[in-house]
C-alpha cells in the first residue's frame, strides 16, 4: 500500500487555476459529423475539466502550431483534484498568455480519472489497446480538424510511452487483446516532449512480473530481472544493454521511427514516483532514444515536473530548445 501511495502521490498541491473546459461546441459538432461521436473526447463524465480545445466559431484562425497535451495515469486534461489530477491547467494557461488560442491547444482525459473509481483499477490498465486507440483517434481528429501541417505533443509520466507508441503506430499486443494503430505519424509532429516518462520501466518492478498488475511483463513497467552481468536494477554502476523487459517498452524503444522532428525529454533526480534518481539499469528511464535534448531537475517532484515547467515546455515547442 505504501508503494502504491508513492506511485500515486506527489508533495505538490497545485492550486486550481486557469482555463475552462470542456472542448468547444464547434469542435464537438465537428467530431460528431466526422465519425468520432462515440469516442467521447469531451469526457463529460469527468466534468468540465475532462477536455479542452477547439474553435469558438468557424471563422477562427489557427496561427500557431496546435499543441496536444497527454497526461499520465489517473490524471485529467485540466485541474480536477490534488495531488494527482492537476491536469495541464498551468501549462495551458501559460500558452494562452503567450497568444495561443483555445483553437490551438488540445487535451482529453484518457482512462480512469483520479477519483472516478478504484485506484487499483486505474493502475490495472496500462498500455492497453483501448487506451492507445482512444488517443490515436484523438490525435488524428485534432490533425484533421485543425488542418495543420504539423502539431506539437507534450506528454507526462505514463503518457510518455503511450504517446510514443501512438505516434509510431503499428501493431500492439496488450492485456486487453491485439490491435493495429496504423502507420507512423511522426512526420506530422514537429516537437515531442516527454516529461518524467518510464520509457525503460521501473526498478521497483524488478521482482514483480505479475503483481501488482502495472508491473507486468507484457504491457506494464517490468524492467527485466537481470541486465547482462548486472543483478541490481536500481544500483547498476554503468548502463548495460537491457533485454527481456516489458514487451511493450522493448518493442517501443527498438522501433527506429522518430516521434517527431525534434524530440526532448525532462526528468528529475528526486522524482518520488520513478525513484532511485529515475535510473533503470544504469540509465535514466525517462531518456528517449535519439532525443535532441534533455533537461534534468534537482528539486522537482513527479507532478511538479509537469506543473512547474511550463516555460520549458513552451521553449521546446516554439524554439526547439529546453
Residue identified by cell 482512444 is 134
Q: What is the largest CA-CA distance in the chain?
A: 62
Give percent of the chain above pLDDT 70: 89
Q: What is the pLDDT of residues 111-164, one digit of tens each?
A: 876 644 434 444 455 678 999 999 999 999 999 999 999 999 999 999 999 999
For the segment 48-55, the average pLDDT, to the nearest whole number, is 97
Kindly indicate the confidence band of residue 285, based on its pLDDT and cuts at 50, 70 and 90.
Answer: very high
**CA–CA separation, 267 and 116 (whole Å):** 28
Digit-coded pLDDT (tens) for 53-93:
999 999 999 999 999 999 999 899 999 887 778 999 999 99
Residue 6: pLDDT band (50, 70, 90) is: very low
Per-residue pLDDT at 50: 96
Q: Is the pLDDT of residue 196 over 70?
A: yes
Burial class (CB in 10 A: 0-12, 13-18, 19+), 286: buried
Helices 89-97 and 310-319 sit at what angle, rounded to 10 degrees? 50
Q: What is the pLDDT of residue 210?
A: 63
Amino acid at each position: 500500500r505504501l508503494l502504491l501511495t508513492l506511485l500515486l502521490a506527489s508533495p505538490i498541491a497545485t492550486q486550481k487555476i486557469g482555463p475552462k473546459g470542456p472542448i468547444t461546441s464547434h469542435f464537438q459538432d465537428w467530431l460528431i459529423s466526422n465519425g468520432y461521436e462515440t469516442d467521447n473526447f469531451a469526457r463529460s463524465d469527468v466534468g468540465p475539466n475532462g477536455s479542452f480545445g477547439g474553435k469558438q466559431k468557424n471563422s477562427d484562425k489557427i496561427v500557431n502550431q496546435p499543441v496536444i497535451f497527454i497526461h499520465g495515469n489517473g490524471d485529467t486534461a485540466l485541474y480536477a483534484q490534488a495531488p494527482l489530477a492537476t491536469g495541464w491547467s498551468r501549462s495551458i494557461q501559460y500558452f494562452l498568455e503567450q497568444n495561443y488560442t483555445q483553437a490551438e491547444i488540445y487535451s482529453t482525459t484518457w482512462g480512469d480519472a483520479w477519483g472516478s473509481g478504484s485506484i487499483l483499477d486505474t493502475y490495472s490498465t496500462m498500455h492497453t489497446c483501448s487506451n492507445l486507440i482512444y488517443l490515436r483517434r484523438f490525435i488524428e481528429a485534432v490533425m484533421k480538424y485543425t488542418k495543420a501541417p504539423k502539431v506539437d505533443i507534450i506528454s507526462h509520466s505514463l503518457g510518455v510511452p503511450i504517446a510514443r507508441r501512438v505516434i509510431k503506430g503499428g501493431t500492439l499486443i496488450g492485456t486487453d487483446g491485439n490491435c493495429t494503430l496504423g502507420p507512423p505519424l511522426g512526420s506530422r509532429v514537429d516537437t515531442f516532449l516527454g516529461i518524467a516518462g518510464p520509457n525503460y520501466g521501473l526498478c521497483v518492478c524488478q521482482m514483480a512480473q505479475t503483481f501488482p498488475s502495472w508491473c507486468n511483463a507484457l504491457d506494464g513497467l517490468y524492467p527485466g530481472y537481470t541486465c547482462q552481468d548486472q543483478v541490481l536494477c536500481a544500483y547498476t554502476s554503468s548502463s548495460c544493454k537491457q533485454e527481456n523487459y516489458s514487451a511493450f517498452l522493448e518493442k517501443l524503444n527498438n522501433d527506429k521511427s522518430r516521434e517527431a522532428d525534434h524530440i526532448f525529454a525532462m526528468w528529475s533526480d528526486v522524482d518520488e514516483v520513478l525513484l532511485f534518481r529515475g535510473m533503470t539499469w544504469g540509465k535514466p528511464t525517462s531518456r528517449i532514444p535519439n532525443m535532441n535534448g534533455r533537461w534534468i531537475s534537482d528539486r522537482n517532484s513527479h507532478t511538479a515536473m509537469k506543473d512547474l515547467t511550463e516555460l520549458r515546455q513552451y521553449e521546446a515547442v516554439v524554439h526547439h530548445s529546453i
